């Protein structure tokens, strides 16, 4: 198979190539956008349901501390006690987990729709090739990912530092606050940090998605030859057959419309019919085949000829020769001049008025 450079791939990917890429699990998707959506959904969920969660968690701890002396931890009782704690914890964490899972699924659906690919799950030995792994470490894609990571860490660190610096004076007052006030103060600081970092990450993730989309389209591009080969491979034979059938019907109607203008129709007598046109004023220098057919088409040519008083002359050898060697619109060759001239002489004699 020929190898093509990136410069040769100037054509947009065909629908067939896009479909194959999706079947293999290859779609334009930003993992940064996934992470940000999940993080943001988690923070927003905590903002609205953290109060109820804290009440339930406090209730669990209150129950445990009240019954601490009654709880006996033994190898036999431990699994039962762990299951009991899980039963209490799942209803508390379920809303948060469901919201985060819904955000993850939703952002994936928005980016690429539903993609189910068995091929992407199939183990491939070439994926664990160490040489390819080393090449990927020094590829342009890895450089872009490294730059993005450094930029994100720098911006996140700067936002955290700026917010803490802005509220630094209030931190000295924490020693004189009640526990509830401390928790409220820290919650406000953390929420501000989360929101500002979240907005920043959303902007970066959106930019990353646009980059991933551009990179995906670039990798899918094809050469002109690949587009031609794929078009030939996936052409619909039924559609091609239907087009050819329509083209034949149009050509046949055009051919039948020319029969009334024929000078003579040469027949076999029932199997073949060939209509010839000749006129001294005609632009053609020799008789021209304007219609030909076999069986039903020949019968139709003869019928139209009779309706329009076009002479019909039987000449089996000439009819067969004209049908086998000539196409509609062609002038007859010199080899058939003599035979056709005899036919035309009969026609002109038939048309002469009787003395």
CB-CB contact of 35 with 43 (8 Å): no
Dist. CA 202–CA 186, nearest whole Å: 24
Higher pLDDT, 236 or 276: 276
Q: Which residues does 33 contact at the CB level (< 8 Å), separation at least 6?
A: 107, 111, 205, 206, 208, 209
Higher pLDDT, 7 or 113: 113
Least confident of 30-39, 262-271, 338-347: 30-39
Q: Assess whether pLDDT exceeds 80 at residue 288.
A: yes
| CB neighbours of residue 19 within 10 Å | 11
Q: What percent of the chain has pLDDT over 70?
A: 80
Dist. CA 349–CA 355, nearest whole Å: 12
50-104 pLDDT tens trace: 777 777 777 777 777 777 667 677 777 777 777 877 777 787 777 878 888 888 8
Predicted local distance difference test score (pLDDT) of residue 352: 65
Dist. CA 205–CA 35, nearest whole Å: 9
Dist. CA 201–CA 209, nearest whole Å: 12
Predicted local distance difference test score (pLDDT) of residue 4: 52
Predicted local distance difference test score (pLDDT) of residue 1: 43
Q: Which residues does 232 contact at the CB level (< 8 Å), separation at least 6?
A: none
Q: Is the pTM of this model over 0.85?
A: no
Dist. CA 330–CA 112, nearest whole Å: 58
Q: Per DSSP, which regions of the chain are E strands?
A: 264-267, 272-277, 288-294, 312-314
Q: Which residues does 261 contact at the CB level (< 8 Å), separation at least 6?
A: 277, 290
CB-CB contact of 42 with 95 (8 Å): no
Fold of the 257-351 domain = name from scop (3.40.1690)
Higher pLDDT, 346 or 134: 346
What sign for the dihedral angle of Cα 273, 278, 283, 284?
A: positive
Q: Tell me how long the chain is.
A: 355
Higher pLDDT, 203 or 284: 203
Dist. CA 68–CA 87, nearest whole Å: 18
105-150 pLDDT tens trace: 888 777 776 666 555 555 555 555 566 556 665 666 677 778 878 8
Higher pLDDT, 72 or 294: 294
And the tokens for 181? 């006030």
Q: Where are the domains positioned within the chain?
A: 15-232, 257-351
- Average pLDDT, stretch 29-40? 79
Q: Assess whether pLDDT exceeds 80 at residue 259.
A: yes
208-219 pLDDT tens trace: 888 888 887 888
CB-CB contact of 331 with 284 (8 Å): yes
Q: Assess whether pLDDT exceeds 70 at residue 323.
A: yes
Q: Which residues does 319 contact at the CB level (< 8 Å), separation at least 6?
A: 266, 267, 268, 272, 273, 274
- Average pLDDT, stretch 265-290? 81
Dist. CA 185–CA 177, nearest whole Å: 10
């Amino acid at each position: 198979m020929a190898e093509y450079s990136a410069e040769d791939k100037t054509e947009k990917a065909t629908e067939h190539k896009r479909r194959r890429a999706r079947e293999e699990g290859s779609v334009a998707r930003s993992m940064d956008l996934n992470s940000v959506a999940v993080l943001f959904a988690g923070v927003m969920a905590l903002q609205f349901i953290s109060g109820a969660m804290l009440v339930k968690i406090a209730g669990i701890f209150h129950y445990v501390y009240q019954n601490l002396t009654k709880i006996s931890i033994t190898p036999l009782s431990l699994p039962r006690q762990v299951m009991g704690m899980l039963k209490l914890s799942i209803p508390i964490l379920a809303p948060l987990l469901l919201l985060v899972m819904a955000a993850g699924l939703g952002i994936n659906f928005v980016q690429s729709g539903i993609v189910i690919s068995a091929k992407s799950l199939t183990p491939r030995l070439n994926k664990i090739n160490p040489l390819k792994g080393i090449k990927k470490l020094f590829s342009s894609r890895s450089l872009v990912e490294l730059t993005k990571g450094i930029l994100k860490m720098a911006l996140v660190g700067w936002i955290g530092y700026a917010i803490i610096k802005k509220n630094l004076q209030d931190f000295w007052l924490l020693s004189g606050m009640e526990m509830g006030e401390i928790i409220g103060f820290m919650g406000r600081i953390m929420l501000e940090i989360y929101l500002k970092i979240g907005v920043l990450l959303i902007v970066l993730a959106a930019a990353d998605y646009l980059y991933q989309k551009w990179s995906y389209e670039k990798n899918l591009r094809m050469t002109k030859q690949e587009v031609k080969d794929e078009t030939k491979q996936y052409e619909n034979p039924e559609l091609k057959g239907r087009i050819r059938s329509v083209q034949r019907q149009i050509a046949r109607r055009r051919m039948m419309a020319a029969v009334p203008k024929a000078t003579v129709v040469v027949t076999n007598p029932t199997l073949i019919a060939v209509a010839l046109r000749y006129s001294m004023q005609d632009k053609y220098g020799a008789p021209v085949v304007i219609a030909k057919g076999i069986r039903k088409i020949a019968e139709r040519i003869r019928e139209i000829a009779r309706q329009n008083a076009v002479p019909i002359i039987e000449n089996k050898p000439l009819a067969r020769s004209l049908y086998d060697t000539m196409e509609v619109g062609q002038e007859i060759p010199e080899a058939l001049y003599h035979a056709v001239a005899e036919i035309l002489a009969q026609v002109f004699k038939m048309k002469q008025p009787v003395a």
